[in-house]
Structure 1
Amino acid sequence: MKDYAIGIDIGTTSAKVVLFDESGEVTAYHSKSYPLLAEEPGAAEQNPDEIYEAVVHSLKETVKKSGDKADRIGFLSFSTAMHTLIAVDDNGAPLTNSFTWADTRSEPFVMEAKENGLADDIYTCTGVPVHPMTPLFKLMWLKHESPDIFQKAAKFVGIKDYILFRWFGDWKTDYASAAATGLWNLTSLQWDEKLMNMANVTIEKLPEIKPATYYWESLSEEIGKGCGLGPEVKVVIGSTDGPLSNLGVGAISPGDVAVTIGTSGAIRTTTPEPILDPEGRTFCYPLTENHWVSGGPVNNGGLAFQWVHDLLEEKKNEKDSYEMLSKLAEKSPAGAEGLLFLPHLTGERAPLWDAQAKGSFIGLTLRHEKDDLLRAVLEGTILNLFDVYNLVKTQTAAEAEIKIFATGGFTQSAIWKQILADVFQKEVSIPENTESSCLGAVLLGRYAVGLTSQLHEVKEETKQYETIQPNKENREVYQELFRLYQALSQALKPNYKGLNEFQNKHKKESGQ
C-alpha cells in the first residue's frame, strides 16, 4: 500500500525533506543547509546548484532512513520559498545565482513605481505589495545592471522551477510561485501582458503556469535510482511555503490565523476568494483556485532575538544560551518598564513595506537593565506582527471567532509564546508537527492525487499538542503599549530614508 508520502521544502537557509505516514506523523527526516551570499550591499543570493544538490541529498538520506517504508511512498510534493529569480540559458544552465526575497538592490525601481503612480495598479493586478523582494523589480534591476546576461537569458525562473526542470526537462511553475513574481494576474490566473512589458520579458521567457495540484506521473529512472525510489512515485508541483504552512497547521477555514516566527515571520489567513488591502499593505496568494492566503511577512523575527543574543550574551557557544536569555527576560514585567523596541533591523516588509526602515529602542532610562532590553526585543517582534494582524483580521471572520495557530523556532521560548498570547489576547495553539510547510505539501499532494476529495478534509490530521492561554491582567498594558508602538513607528517613518543615506555615507570600513 502506497500510504506514505514525502514533503520537500526548499527554504531560504536549508532544504528539508520529511517522510509522513498516512496520519501525518513524521517517520523520517533530513535537511541540508546552504549559504546566503551577500558580496555587496543589498545582495542576498544563493547558488542554485548547491540548493539542487541539497534537495537531492536530503531526499536520498530521508529515503534511506525510512528503511522498509521506501516501497510504500506514493508521491513527493514540493514547498518553496517565495520571490526567487534565476536567469538560465537555452540549456537550462544558470546565468545568475538565485536572487532571494531578501535581495534589495532593485529598491530604486520600486521607488520609481511608487513615485509615478504605478504601485497601486501593480498591487491591484497581482496582490503582491510593491517591494524589492518581487522578481518584477529584480528583472528591471538585472536588465539595468547586467544587460548582457538579461539579453542572453532564455528563461527567468524560480528555484523550485529550476529543480523540477532538472528532474523532468520542462519549465513549469505553480500558481503561488507565479503570483509571487509580481508578473501574474490574480483574475486571469495567467502572466499579465502589461507587467511583462514593464519587465521587458515575453511569455516565452517564463515557465508555464500550473495549478498546485498538477503532478508528474513518475520519477525519471536516474532520480528514482539515485534516491532509492521506484519510477511509479508521483511528483506534485505543490505551492509556496506560506500557503502550505497554513494548510499544515490546519488554518484554512475562515477565522483561522497562522503566525510563524522563524528567522523572519509572517501572519496569514485563508479565504475562499482573493482579498486585497485598500492601501496595498497585505499580500494575497493562491493555494488553489478556491483557497486564497492573505497576510503579511515581516523581515525581523528570530533574527532580532539572535542579534540581541549575540550582543549581550558572552557565552555564545553554549547550547542553552538562548534559553538562559529567555529566562532572564521573564524577570522584566509586561511592557519592559516602558521600553519599546521597533524590530526593523533589516528594513521591513509588512506593515511598512520600507526596505530602508531601521530598528530602535525607545524609552531607555538609567533604570533599564539587561532583562528589560531582552523582553523589549521579544515584545517588539510580537507588536510588529500584531500590527499586521490588525490588517488581516478585517479580512476574515468576526473577532470572537478568530483562532491563532503558531509555528516556528520561537515556540521553543516559553515567554515568547506567552507574549504572543497576551498581546493578541487569544488562545494560541501550537501544532505537534513543526514542519508545517512540508506537512502542508503532503496534505495538498493527497488532495492532488485523489486520496481525499476536498482539501479541508485533511485539516483534522494536524494535531494540537499545546495551548497557551492569554493573561487577562496584561490586556490593558499591551493595549496601551501597542498604541505607543504604532504612533512611534509612524513618527519615525519619514526619517528612515535620511538615516539610511547617512549610514551609507558614514559607515565604517570592514574590519574596523
Structure 2
Amino acid sequence: MDYTIGVDLGTTSTKVVLFDKASKVIKTANHGYTLYRDEPDMAEEDLDEIFQAFTEGIIDVTKGLNFATDKLIAVSFSSSMHSLIAFDADWQPLTRVITWADTRAVNYTEELKNNGLGKEIYAKTGTPIHPMAPLSKLLWLKNEKPDIYKQAAHYLGIKEYIFHRLFGDNKMDISIASGTGLFNIFELDWDAQALAVTGVKKEQLPQPVEPYEIARNLDPEYAKFIGIPADTAFVYGAGDGPLSNLGVNAIQPGVAAVTIGTSGAIRVVSNKPVIDPKGRTFTYALDKDHWVVGGPVNNGGDVFRWAKNNLFDAEDSTAKLLHMDTYDLLTSIAAKVPAGADGLLFHPYLGGERAPIWDANARGSFFGLTHEHTRAHMVRAVLEGIIFNIYMVSLALEEVVGDLHNIQATGGFARSPLWRQMAADIFEQPVTVPEAFESGALAATVVAKKALGIMDRLEDIEELVGQSNTYTPNPENYNVYRELVPIFIRLSRQLQTEYANIANFQRKYNNTNKD
C-alpha cells in the first residue's frame, strides 16, 4: 500500500494524518503543547515541545506499517503562519517561537502605521501592518531585546526550523514567506524596503522556494528514531490559511472558506495578488498561480474555550456523567436560547484583533446585559459574536474581490451543527461542510502529489474532498441577525476609541501586581 502523511503544525497542537493512496484517512495523531503567556501580550511556544509533538505524531501514525512492502510516498506540511525564531551563527536558538498571537510589538506597529512606511510596505507585501507579522516582531527585538537582535544570524519560522533540524536546510516556501511582511509578493523575493526598516539583511533570511520543494536524505539518526525510510520525500507545503482553502475545495471565484480553529479566517482564491487600498485584507500565496485573499481573526475557538473554563467550569463533571464532550454540552445549552440571545452582544476581542479592525489593543465585552440574561444567553452570545466578527471581515473582503456566493466551512467549529447553522443565518449564504474534516493535512498531501508528478492540478482535489452537507439560511433567524449586525458593527467602532486606554491601564496594573 502507498501512503502519504499530512502534518498540520498548529498554534497549540500538531496533528499528523496518515492517508492511503485514495486519500482516505487511515490514522490520526494529535499532540498538544503550551502557548506560553508569561507576561502581558506574550504568546510563545517551545521549539523542543513542537518538535517532539511532530516526531511523536509521525511515530504514532506509522506504527504497524511494514516498509518492506508499504511505501511512504511523502510527508508534507501545513503550518501556522507569522512565527519568528532567532538563531545565532551556530544555529543555536536565541528565542522561543514567537507566534502570530504575540502582540508585544504593538507600539512599533503603530509607528509604522503613523509614519506612512507601513502603507508602502503593505502595498508590496500584502501583509497588513500588525504585531502578528515578523516585520513588527523584528522591530520589537531590535528595540526591546538588542542583545538578541545583535547576536541573531538567522531567522526562521517553526516549519523551517523542523526542516533545518531534519535536513540542515535553510529555506522557506513562498506561502509562509508571504505572511512575514518582509516578502514582495510581486517580485517573489525579500523586499528591500522592509529589510531596510528592520535592519535585517537578506542573508539572515531563508531562501524562498515553491511549496513543491522536496527535501530528501533525512538525517539517519532521525530516520531511525522516527522509524521511516531516510529517502522519504519531505515536501515543504504551505501556510495553513491557503491550504485550508484548498482542502475544502474553495479555490473557485466567489467561494469563501471560513475557518475557525484556535483563531479564524475567511478567504477566497485569486489568480493574482490583490491589495486592499484600505489595508484590511491580506494576500498570501498558495503557489505562484493561486493567491489567497482574506482576513484573519485572533479570536475563534480560544474564546469558546475561555467561556467554558471561566463561565462553565462546573459543566465538565456534568458532561462526564452524560458521556458528552463539554463543548457539545455548551452548544446544546446555547441552542435553547433564540437567535440573537435576546439582545445580548459579545465582542470577542480577548486577544486583541487582526481583521477587520487591526487593533492589537482591542478588548472583549458583553453589551446589553439585563436581569433576564443567563449563562445560556452568554454562551450563545459568545458563539454569535465570533461569527459576527468574521462576517464583518467578509464585508471588507467583498469590497476587494467581489460578491461571495457560497461558504465552505472548516475547522473545529464545522463539527458543530449549531455553529454551522448560525454561520448560514448570519451570512445569509449556504454553508457547506465537506466530509473531509482533516482539510489542512489533506491539502498538504495534494501539494506533495503535485510536487511528485502524481497529480497534475491542485483543482483535482475536488475528487478527494468527498460528500458535503449544506446548511441553508433560516429566514426567521437571519431577520433577527439583520437587525443585530449593524448594532454590533457600530458598537465595535465606538468602543475602538477606548481600546488603547483600557489596554494601557491593564498593562500598567498587570506589571505592578507582578512586581
CA distance in 2, matches of 1:364, 1:22: 54
Q: Letter of the aligned partner of 1:270 in structure 2?
A: V
334, 340, 346: which one aligns with 1:341: 346
CA distance in 2, matches of 1:74, 1:184: 31
Q: Letter of the aligned partner of 1:163 in structure 2?
A: I
1:181-330 to 2 correspondences below 5 Å: 181-313=180-312, 314-317=314-317, 318-319=319-320, 320-330=325-335
Shift, 1:347, TM fit: 0.9
Structure 1 counterpart of 2:480 = 477
Instruction: For residues 113-170 of structure 1, give each alpha carbon's deviation from its aligned partner in whole angstroms, at most 9, with x where no partner exists.
Output: 1111112112101100100011111111112222222111220111111110111112
Shift, 1:177, TM fit: 1.2
> Is residue 267–residue 295 contact of structure 1 (8 Å, CA) maintained in 2?
yes
> Is residue 218–residue 235 contact of structure 1 (8 Å, CA) maintained in 2?
no
How many residues align? The count is 509
Structure 1 counterpart of 2:421 = 418
502, 506, 509: which one aligns with 1:503: 506
SS at match of 1:180: coil
Structure 2 counterpart of 1:9 = 8
Structure 2 counterpart of 1:41 = 40
> Is residue 121–residue 193 contact of structure 2 (8 Å, CA) maintained in 1?
no
> Is residue 27–residue 66 contact of structure 1 (8 Å, CA) maintained in 2?
no
Q: Letter of the aligned partner of 2:297 in structure 1?
A: V
1:29 counterpart = 2:34: no
> Is residue 84–residue 98 contact of structure 1 (8 Å, CA) maintained in 2?
yes
Structure 1 counterpart of 2:369 = 364
1:146 counterpart = 2:151: no
Q: Letter of the aligned partner of 1:438 in structure 2?
A: A
Instruction: For residues 191-240 of structure 1, give each alpha carbon's deviation from its aligned partner in whole angstroms, at most 9, with x where no partner exists.
Output: 01111111111111111000111112443433333222223321111111
SS at match of 1:307: helix
CA distance in 1, matches of 2:326, 2:170: 45
SS at match of 2:178: helix
SS at match of 2:315: coil
Q: Which moved more, 1:381-390 or 1:311-320?
A: 311-320
CA distance in 1, matches of 2:272, 2:263: 27
Q: Which moved more, 1:493-502 or 1:362-371?
A: 362-371
Shift, 1:413, TM fit: 2.7
Structure 2 counterpart of 1:124 = 123
Alpha-carbon spacing, 1:133–1:121, altered in 2? closer, same or farther (3 Å): same
Q: Letter of the aligned partner of 2:357 in structure 1?
A: L
346, 355, 359: which one aligns with 1:350: 355
SS at match of 1:260: strand
1:110-121 to 2 correspondences below 5 Å: 110-121=109-120
Shift, 1:508, TM fit: 9.3
Shift, 1:345, TM fit: 1.2
Alpha-carbon spacing, 1:444–1:506, altered in 2? closer, same or farther (3 Å): same
Q: Letter of the aligned partner of 1:452 in structure 2?
A: M
SS at match of 1:365: coil
SS at match of 2:238: coil
Q: Letter of the aligned partner of 1:159 in structure 2?
A: I
1:389 counterpart = 2:397: no
Alpha-carbon spacing, 1:33–1:332, altered in 2? closer, same or farther (3 Å): same
> Is residue 28–residue 66 contact of structure 1 (8 Å, CA) maintained in 2?
no
Shift, 1:501, TM fit: 2.0
CA distance in 1, matches of 2:471, 2:510: 43
Shift, 1:509, TM fit: 7.1
1:452 counterpart = 2:455: yes
SS at match of 2:447: helix
What's the % identity of the aligned pairs?
45
Shift, 1:476, TM fit: 2.0
Q: Letter of the aligned partner of 2:508 in structure 1?
A: K
CA distance in 1, matches of 2:350, 2:263: 11
CA distance in 1, matches of 2:68, 2:368: 57
Structure 1 counterpart of 2:430 = 427
Q: Letter of the aligned partner of 1:11 in structure 2?
A: G
Structure 1 counterpart of 2:494 = 491
Q: Which moved more, 1:94-103 or 1:465-474?
A: 465-474
Instruction: For residues 290-330 of structure 1, give each alpha carbon's deviation from its aligned partner in whole angstroms, at most 9, with x where no partner exists.
Output: 10011111111122222222233223344433222212212
Gaps of 5+ in 1: none
Shift, 1:32, TM fit: 1.6
Q: Which moved more, 1:211-220 or 1:286-295?
A: 211-220
Instruction: For residues 17-72 of structure 1, give each alpha carbon's deviation from its aligned partner in whole angstroms, at most 9, with x where no partner exists.
Output: 11111222111222221111122111111111221222122112211154569722
Instruction: For residues 409-428 of structure 1, give each alpha carbon's deviation from its aligned partner in whole angstroms, at most 9, with x where no partner exists.
Output: 22333222211111011221
Q: Letter of the aligned partner of 1:490 in structure 2?
A: R
Shift, 1:398, TM fit: 4.1
1:437 counterpart = 2:436: no
Shift, 1:506, TM fit: 4.1
1:393-412 to 2 correspondences below 5 Å: 393-396=398-401, 398-399=403-404, 402-412=405-415
Instruction: For residues 1-26 of structure 1, give each alpha carbon's deviation from its aligned partner in whole angstroms, at most 9, with x where no partner exists.
Output: 6x321111111111221111122211
CA distance in 1, matches of 2:81, 2:126: 14
Alpha-carbon spacing, 1:154–1:502, altered in 2? closer, same or farther (3 Å): closer
Q: Letter of the aligned partner of 1:139 in structure 2?
A: L
> Is residue 212–residue 238 contact of structure 1 (8 Å, CA) maintained in 2?
yes
1:367-382 to 2 correspondences below 5 Å: 367-382=372-387
Structure 2 counterpart of 1:100 = 99
SS at match of 2:267: strand
CA distance in 2, matches of 1:135, 1:126: 12
Q: Letter of the aligned partner of 1:409 in structure 2?
A: G
SS at match of 1:239: strand
> Is residue 217–residue 235 contact of structure 1 (8 Å, CA) maintained in 2?
yes
Alpha-carbon spacing, 1:148–1:63, altered in 2? closer, same or farther (3 Å): same
CA distance in 1, matches of 2:468, 2:452: 29
Q: Which moved more, 1:387-396 or 1:168-177?
A: 387-396
Gaps of 5+ in 2: none
Q: Letter of the aligned partner of 1:198 in structure 2?
A: V
SS at match of 1:475: helix
CA distance in 2, matches of 1:13, 1:304: 14
SS at match of 2:369: coil
CA distance in 2, matches of 1:31, 1:332: 33
SS at match of 1:316: helix
Shift, 1:241, TM fit: 0.7
CA distance in 2, matches of 1:58, 1:108: 38
